[in-house]
């Protein structure tokens, strides 16, 4: 089991390994450097980037901005206890909340 799958399963016990692997492939380069491997949940610009480039562009969500911001905020709150929030886990949880995990199957 990969370290990413193990981390995702802290939040979703039934996480599909194939979905996590595809998400890992999607994030590719962002997971290689220590600085970009984690999400700074207190940085508004980073959260806006997740909204615009992941939720809107990758997942194709056309919802209102406040709904997309709400998804990102809910995931940040869910992961609040974890100081170092892994990017892959954060994106997985965003996709799960948006009911878009099927895009990675």
At 52 the three-state DSSP class reads helix
How much is the average pLDDT of 64-83?
Answer: 96
What is the reported pTM? 0.95
**Range with top average pLDDT, 3-7, 61-65, 88-92:** 88-92
How wide is the angle at C-alpha 96 spanned by C-alphas 90 and 100, nearest 5°?
115
Distance CA 12, CA 14 (A): 5
Nearest partner of 70 among 55, 88, 86, 53, judged by Cα: 55
pLDDT of residue 35: 87
When pLDDT is cut at 50, 70 and 90, the band that residue 74 belongs to is very high
């Amino acid at each position: 089991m990969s370290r990413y799958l193990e981390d995702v399963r802290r939040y979703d016990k039934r996480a599909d390994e194939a979905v996590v692997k595809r998400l890992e492939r999607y994030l590719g380069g962002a997971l290689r450097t220590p600085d970009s491997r984690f999400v700074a949940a207190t940085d508004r610009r980073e959260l806006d980037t997740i909204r615009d480039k992941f939720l809107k562009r990758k997942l194709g969500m056309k919802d209102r901005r406040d709904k997309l911001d709400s998804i990102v905020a809910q995931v940040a709150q869910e992961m609040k206890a974890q100081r170092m929030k892994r990017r892959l886990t954060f994106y997985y949880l965003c996709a799960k909340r948006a009911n878009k995990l099927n895009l990675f199957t």
